Structure 1
Amino acid sequence: MEIFIKIPYERKQSTESILRQTKDDLCESIAYIGQKKPELAKLTLCCAGVNLVMSALMIIGLPVIVMNILDFSKSEASRLYGYMEAILAIGGLVGGIGAGVFGRKLKVNGSWKLLLASGMLLIPMGVVLMIECPAYLAYGVLAAAGLVIMSLSAIYTIQIMSYIQMTVPHHMVGKVIAWIIAVSTCAQPVGQVLYGVLFDEMAKNVYIIFGAATICSVLIALGSRKATKAL
């Protein structure tokens, strides 16, 4: 896909060191996002919030639940764990394809609805863990909801990135995208560490974690709605 992206190249003469250039580019991108395009700063936080709350929960929480919480034998849990990893990966791929197929129909100022839907899908996941239901039923609900959440999250992220690329001045695109990706990427391991601690401490009440994640997801969705309202 990337070989078809045409990026005009213009050689620039500079006598500064690479570290000084990096510092200047970083300061320029932060100043642009913070002063000229404050909505981009809010969208950056929303993208980071998706990785911090939802992506980290899917990556850390679901495998832990399959391996340690649901009533499966060790061999069965290992097999289903592999399936769960594949399902989450497929969800991300489906989201990427969906963003391309439905790209023209999707509006960036309505992208917050994708996050809201993702947050709502955490509710049935928490419910099946709160009540005593068959392990395979709980697994099915977790897998189905996880697939859709990963798909919607991918579509949301692609929408935001596409909007930024289309609206940011040509000479600032790389700098702004790099900053947003850096912030969003750093948020995910923080979320993974946080969920790792929570699942260790609350192994018998993991539904509370899903309830808290639902609230956070809704708040992120509302924040995204406010950021894109004027777009």
Structure 2
Amino acid sequence: MVTMETSKYQTTFNFIKLVTGQAVSVFGTSLLRFALSLYVLDITGRSDIYATLFAVSSLPILLSPIGGALADRFNRKSIMVALDLANGLFSLLLLAAFLLNQSALVIIAIAMILFGFVGAMDTPVITAIIPSIASGDKLESANGILQGVQSLSGIVAPVLGGLLYAMIGMENILIITTAAFFLTALLETRILVPKNKSDYSGNIIRVLISDLKEGFHYTLQHSFIRKTMFISVGLNFALTPLFIVGVPYILRITMNLNTSLYGIGVGVIEFATILGALIVGLVSKKLKVSNFYLWILFISILLIPIIFACTPFMLQYGTLPSFLIFLLSGVPLSACLSIISIFAISKVQKITPTKNLGKVMSIIMATAQCAAPIGQILYGIGFEIFQTTVYVPITITLIATLLLSVISKLLYRNEVDI
């Protein structure tokens, strides 16, 4: 007889296995992409090829809705295992190419794109699996833990990738990642995931196209999901580039920090993102659809001290006071952005039928992530134009965030808390 305690233990252990598998998968691919980029930089000596290759390997995210359609049509556990087997196979083939001295630039480019493609397919599958393992009031915490693990992997993988590349070389890195991917696939076969395979007839391509149309239709027709996707796009457009482009520029150029303080600043802000993901379960009861706009408003308020820290008036007193003001405001801002992102994802997961979950989540994520590069370009232009007055583009971000708060208030005024 299965008791409630036994069932809770099985669920927890099941989730631990899922988190472990995701950590290895995300960490492994991030490490490989970074190490391979360094290898390209070494053999070509050209930073433009290095940067372009790293950027191109991220383009497959646009194909993630296909992964969502597959996740809703076929067994999600089988797809999850197959994707890690694919990572292992690609890593093994790349290792063979290096051992045979066939590691040409085109081979590496193809490999990085393939790893990016697997990652794009994997994200919607995992997102669709989570509600079947951690449901109800545990969903926000589960999403937070997974996002925290993914964020930590994104931070640690480049550092460790650079160290391993220098210490043991590309071939040994590939040996390690190949073994890790195959072992992860083996672990994932032990995860208990409810079966969701749907029967179909006819050509699979046509079936998937039809499923994608259904997913887009459902996403755009459902009031709450459509509104949430719009707000997510706005936040990714206005705020995500602030951390990717703005933070390094402000700390290194505007505040003219030395390497040590710059590293501390970037590290603390990135840690705040992870902290927000990990504590979302503690604050989830205070987060409601009706007060969602207040959290965005709070983020806009936190931008005011950052603007002040970048003014000539503050900078005349030296870099340290501005740096401390920046951190005191930037840390809660980063944590809040992480919290509301996970909150929005969890709410959409709760109201979306299982048959559409993969498609809907992948469509929202792909759409939101496409907005960030546009924002990055505009931030780059803004900081170039206002080199001596960088508080101007940040003030524009403040205005945009305030506008998003007002729009959020109006959009969700008739929505019931889920």
* TM-score, scaled relative to structure 1: 0.90
Aligned with 1:225 (options 403, 409, 414) = 409
Is residue 149 from structure 1 mapped to residue 333 from structure 2 by the alignment? yes
Match of 1:92 in 2: 273
Preserved contact between residue 43 and residue 227 of structure 1 (Cα < 8 Å): no
* C-alpha separation in 2, matches of 1:170 and 1:194: 38
CA distance in 2, matches of 1:18, 1:195: 42
Aligned to 2:239: 54
Return the letter of the residue paired with 2:229: T
The one-letter amino acid of 1:123's match is I
8 Å CA contact 2:254–2:390 kept in 1: the answer is no
Q: Which has the larger radius of gyration?
A: 2
Q: How many residues are matched?
A: 226
1:118 matched residue in structure 2: 299
Shift of 1:13: 3.1
Q: Structure 2 unaligned segments of length 5 or more: list them.
A: 1-14, 20-129, 134-192
Q: Which amino acid aligns with 1:33?
A: T
| 192, 195, 215: which one aligns with 2:399 | 215
Instruction: Return closer, same or farther for 1:20/1:87 CA change in 2, 3 Å cut-off.
Output: farther
Deviations 1:121-166 (A, max 9, x none): 1111112212322211111111221111111111111111111111
Partner of 1:127: 308
Q: Distance in 2 between matches of 1:128 and 1:205?
A: 11
* C-alpha RMSD of the superposition: 1.9
Structure 1: segments with no counterpart, 5+ residues: none
Query: Is the 1:122–1:210 contact (alpha carbons within 8 Å) kept by the matching residues of 2?
Result: yes
Tell me which of the two structures has the higher relative contact order, counting C-alpha pairs closer than 8 angstroms and 6 or more residues apart. 1
Q: Quick one: structure 1 residues 17 and 202, their matched pair in 2 at CA, closer, same or farther if it must change by over 3 Å?
A: farther
Q: 1:13 aligns with which of 199, 202, 216?
A: 199
TM-score, length-normalised on structure 2? Answer: 0.51
Change (3 A) 1:107 1:203: same
Task: Describe the shift of the 1:62–1:14 C-alpha distance in structure 2 as closer, same or farther (beyond 3 A).
Answer: same
How far off its partner does 1:104 sit? 2.5
> Could you tell me how far apart the structure 1 residues matched to 2:390 and 2:213 are?
41
Cα distance change on mapping 1:136 and 1:18 into 2, 3 Å: farther
Question: How far apart are the structure 1 equivalents of 2:319 and 2:279?
Answer: 31
Q: Is structure 2 residue 370 aligned with structure 1 residue 186? A: yes
Give yes or no for the alignment of 1:45 onto 2:221: no
Q: Deviations over 1:18-48 (max 9, x none)?
A: 543443232212211222x133212111111
Paired-residue identity, %: 25
Give 1:80's aligned amino acid: L
Change in Cα spacing, 1:150 to 1:17, as seen in structure 2 (3 Å) is farther
Call closer, same or farther: CA 1:187–1:21 in 2, change over 3 Å: farther
CA distance in 2, matches of 1:228, 1:54: 21
Deviates more, 1:14-23 or 1:186-195: 14-23
